[in-house]
Amino acid sequence: MKYRQRTIASLDLGTNTLLLMVSERSSDGTLKVIEDRHEVVRLGQGLEESGIINDQAIERTLAALIGMKEVWEKYACDSVYLCATAALREAKNAEEVRKKISDTIGIETEILAKNEEVRLTYRSVLADLDHEDPSMVVDIGGGSTEIAWGLGSRFDGGRSLSFGTVKLLESFMKNNDLEGARAHIESKLERIPPLPPLQHYYGTAGSYTQLAALIYELEPYSAQTVDMKVIKKETLETWIQKLSTLSLDEIQNLPGVNPKRADVLLSGALIVETLMRRFGLQEFVVRDRGIRFGKTFDVLKGFVSPIEFRG
C-alpha cells in the first residue's frame, strides 16, 4: 500500500505544559517523529482562584508559541494543529486568549471537549501496541485528569475529571496536606464506573514521564528511553514518602527532575498512587505519548508501526 507523504505539526496546550511534535509519514507508511519539544508555560496558574487566565501566563504561552512556530516553519509542515484542554475549557476569558494566539501565530486553537480529549489520549497510547487486552490509560494534566479504558486499540469509554497537578498544588500541596489531597482525588474517582479486571495500566504525559525520569535517573531526558518503562507500586510509595520530606530546592536537584516541574511532582505522584489503590493495580507502564500523538494519528488515518524517532 502506498501512502501520501505528509509532514504535520501537532501542538498540545495544557494547563501546565505546551508540547509540539513534528512528524513525517513517508510513502511506505513509516511515521517518523522529527521534533518533539515541550515547555512549561503554566497557562492555568491562578485559574482555580480567579477563573481567568492571567496576563503573565498568556505572555509566557505566546512567547513559547512564537519559538515553536520557528520549528514548524523550518520543516515546511503541510498542516499545523493546536489543541487546548482544561485551562481554556474553563477560563472565562478563553476567547480572548484564543484571539491573541491566532493574532500572534496565525493558527486557530481547537478547544477539545472532555470526551474528545479522553479519546485522543487513549488512541495515542494504544494505536501502536499489538494486543486486545483490557487496558486503562491515564493522562494527568495540570487542570484535569483523563481516564480512558478499552480492549487493546478499541476505545470503550472514559472520563475527564476536574483535578490535576496544578490544582492540587494550589489547593493542598502548598500546605503539604497529603491526606486532604488524597481524599479530594478519591472523591473525584467516584465518577469512574466499575471496570473489568485490567491487564494493563498505561500512564502518559508529564507526571508519568517525570516519575520515570526520576526513578530511573534518566539524564538527559529521552522519550525513547522513558517509553514503556515499568514502575512498581512499592517503588512509587517509597518516592512519595521521600518527596514529602524534601524542600522544593532539594527536589529540583534530584537526578532526572525537570526543575520547572519540581513543584507539581508530588501532586502527580499522589494521583498515580490513589489510582493504583482504587483499581487494585501493582504497576504501571509509562508511555511518552499524549494528545499531540493522538491528533496526528487521527489526521493521518494510517501508518506502519513501529514509530521511528530521529536522533
pLDDT of residue 249: 97
Residue 311 confidence (pLDDT) above 80: no
Give the DSSP letter string of 218-277.
-SS--HHHHTT-EEEHHHHHHHHHHHTTS-HHHHHTSTT--GGGGGGHHHHHHHHHHHHH
SS3 of 127, please?
coil
pLDDT of residue 143: 87
Q: How far apart are CA 197 and CA 186, in angstroms?
A: 19
CATH 3.30.420.150 in the chain is located at 115-287
> Maximum CA pair distance of the chain?
58
pTM of the model: 0.91
pLDDT of residue 305: 79
The top-level CATH class assigned to 115-287 is alpha beta
pLDDT band for position 130 (cuts 50, 70, 90): confident
The top-level CATH class assigned to 6-113+291-309 is alpha beta
